[in-house]
Every structure is written in structure tokens, then in C-alpha cells.
């Protein structure tokens, strides 16, 4: 509910920065591989794919093979929904009705775009590598060659006001007063 909503951008960024995996959903309208049924009004299965990401300032960076379905869809500019979720713990109450979970989650809506400038792309790849491993890892590795850079597609999703939703639950069980003496924990 509303009491779990987070509106502080720094807290949202902290959640994004402590996670590495995002699930990205998008529509497959018009793609026959995802056709549910073919009648007068065809419907298509949506897709959700998980991938690594790194926050770079006010945007998220994704990368992958240029031929991958996810990267091709992201680069096309279609509307997407990105979900980042961390389970912090189970919350067991005196009755299953009040069981819950503590979590923090961010949802980002928007349209990604490809990073086409070669210098910016190489900088983004360094940010991604260091963000998914550790700062300085890129400098410890062999530099990517031109063929590897060309085979990799980098996309950027801006983090715009109004397109970010964040919720956090970090609370004990909400047991009813009548259940407090029930002999279970």
C-alpha cells in the first residue's frame, strides 16, 4: 500500500545499486513466434527476461549479444517495464492471514535506446563490467577487441521522474491482539 511507497530518489538509487539482476518485460505484438491464437483479434504472449544491469547516474545500462532477443527489443525503443526485487526475509505471524515478506523493490517504466557512439559504448562497457564485478576489474582484464565490441549491444534506460515506482516492507508481523497469546512464534 501507500505506507510502503518510497519517493526518495537516493533510497531508490541505493536499492538499484545493491542489486545486479533485473527482469525486463515487453510486448511481442506482431511477432508470430509469440502468437497465442490466430483469430479475428490475435493476442501475443508478453515476455519477461532477466539480465544484469548497472545504474549509471540517472539511467540503467544493459548489455548483451547484438543478436539477442532482449537487446534487439530494447534497442528498438519499445515500451518496457524493468523490475528489481530483493527478498529480505519471511514474516511469520500467529496466523497465516498475517504472514508476509520483507522486501525492497523498484519498477521502472520507459524506453531504452542503443548506445551507438563508440567512445560512449566503451565507457558504458567499463561501467557495466566494474559494476557487475568490482571497481577496477576492467583494467585487470584484456581489453575487448573491435570484434567483441561490435558483437555487443549496449542499451540505456533513462530514470525519469514519474516512471519509477518503489516499495519497501521492513516490519514485524501485524498480529491481531486476540492472537498475541497463541502458543506459536
Give per-residue pLDDT as tens, 122-176: 999 999 999 999 999 999 999 999 999 999 999 999 999 999 999 999 999 988 8
Residue 105's pLDDT band, with cuts at 50, 70 and 90, is very high
More confident residue, 40 or 170: 170
pLDDT at 2 over 70: no
Q: What is the 3-state secondary structure (H, E, C) of the chain?
A: CHHHECCCHHHHHHHHHHCCEEEEEECCCCCHHHEEECCCCCEECCEEEEEECEECCCEEEEEEECCCHHHHHHHHCCEEEEEEEEEEEEECCCCHHHCEEEEEEEEEEEECEECCCHHHHHHHHHHHHHHHCCCCHHHHCCCCCHHHHHCEEEEEEECCCCCEEEEEECCCCCCCHHHCCCCCC
Question: How far is 183 from 42, CA to CA, in rounded Å?
Answer: 55
Question: How far is 61 from 113, CA to CA, in rounded Å?
Answer: 10
Cβ contact 122:149 at 8 Å: yes
Question: How far is 82 from 111, CA to CA, in rounded Å?
Answer: 10
The predicted structure's pLDDT at residue 142: 96
Residue 1's pLDDT band, with cuts at 50, 70 and 90, is low
Total-model pTM = 0.90
Predicted confidence (pLDDT) per residue in 63-86, tens digit: 999 999 999 999 999 999 999 999
Bridge-based pairing of strands 21-26 and 47-52 is antiparallel
Bridge-based pairing of strands 35-37 and 113-114 is unpaired
Determine what percent of the chain is predicted with pLDDT higher than 70.
Answer: 98
More confident residue, 53 or 176: 53
Please report the sign of the dihedral spanned by the C-alpha atoms of residue 24, residue 28, residue 32, residue 35: positive
Over its C-alpha atoms, the chain yields an Rg (Å, rounded) of 21
When the pLDDT of each residue in the chain is averaged and rounded to a whole number, the result is 93
Amino acid at each position: 500500500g501507500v505506507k510502503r511507497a518510497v519517493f526518495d530518489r537516493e533510497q531508490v538509487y541505493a536499492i538499484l545499486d545493491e542489486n545486479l539482476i533485473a527482469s525486463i518485460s515487453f510486448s511481442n505484438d506482431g511477432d508470430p513466434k509469440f502468437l497465442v491464437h490466430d483469430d479475428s483479434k490475435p493476442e501475443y504472449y508478453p515476455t519477461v527476461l532477466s539480465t544484469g544491469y548497472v545504474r549509471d547516474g540517472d539511467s540503467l545500462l544493459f548489455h548483451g549479444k547484438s543478436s539477442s532477443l532482449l537487446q534487439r527489443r530494447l534497442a528498438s525503443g519499445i515500451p518496457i517495464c524493468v523490475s528489481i526485487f530483493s527478498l529480505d526475509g519471511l514474516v511469520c505471524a500467529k496466523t497465516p492471514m498475517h504472514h508476509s515478506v520483507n522486501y525492497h523493490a523498484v519498477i521502472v517504466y520507459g524506453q531504452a535506446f542503443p548506445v551507438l557512439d563508440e567512445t560512449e559504448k566503451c565507457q558504458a562497457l567499463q561501467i557495466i563490467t566494474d559494476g557487475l564485478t568490482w571497481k577496477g576489474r576492467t583494467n585487470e582484464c584484456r581489453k575487448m577487441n573491435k570484434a567483441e565490441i561490435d558483437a555487443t549491444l549496449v542499451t540505456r534506460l533513462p530514470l525519469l521522474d514519474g516512471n519509477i515506482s518503489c516499495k519497501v516492507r521492513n516490519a514485524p508481523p501485524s498480529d491481531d491482539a486476540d492472537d498475541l497469546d497463541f502458543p506459536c512464534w
